[in-house]
Amino acid sequence: MSDGIKPEINFEQFAAIDLRVAKVVEASEHPNADKLMVLKLDLGELGERQIVAGIKQYYRPEELVGKLIAVVANLAPRTMRGVESRGMLLAGVEGEPATNVVVMSLDRPVAPGSRIS
């Protein structure tokens, strides 16, 4: 679709997405990519995991450490430029191509691993 609007999904499709709160424990620039950052996340009872996100031009690693962010926790693992990613962060994205990307974060503390509904 040229306008960027995705097709409608039903409730069961939406309910299959496991949205969780994650605390960023570590953040670093991807060693083999100009636009990617590697984040180590604490997902509470789900444990720690690593994700790769295309946010390097919008954030410095130290800006993310300690933040509580929203992630898709049940996304199948994917290797991006040699680094495994086990999830995806949620972000607001302006423009096509993106001119501004803002990572979705929580305005008050909640335990890592908490469900987002």
**Structure-block tokens of residue 39:** 């984040």
Asked if the model's pLDDT at residue 1 lies above 50, the reply is no
Residue 92 lies inside a defined structural domain of this protein:
yes
Q: Can you give the CATH number for the domain in which 25 is found? A: 2.40.50.140
Residue 73 lies inside a defined structural domain of this protein:
yes
Residue 86 lies inside a defined structural domain of this protein:
yes
Contact between 26 and 49 under an 8 Å Cβ cutoff? The reply is no
Residue 3 lies inside a defined structural domain of this protein:
no
Residue 113 lies inside a defined structural domain of this protein:
no
Share of the chain above pLDDT 90, in %: 86
Q: How buried is residue 113: exposed, middle or buried, by Cβ count under 10 Å (0-12/13-18/19+)?
A: middle
Residue 2 lies inside a defined structural domain of this protein:
no
d(CA 11, CA 14): 5
Could you report the per-residue pLDDT of 34-90, keeping only the tens digit for each?
A: 899 999 999 999 999 999 999 999 999 999 999 999 999 999 999 999 999 999 999
pLDDT-derived band at 30 (thresholds 50, 70, 90) equals very high
Domain ranges, residue 27: 11-103
Q: Into how many domains does the chain fold?
A: 1
Residue 109 lies inside a defined structural domain of this protein:
no
Residue 115 lies inside a defined structural domain of this protein:
no
Asked if the model's pLDDT at residue 98 lies above 50, the reply is yes
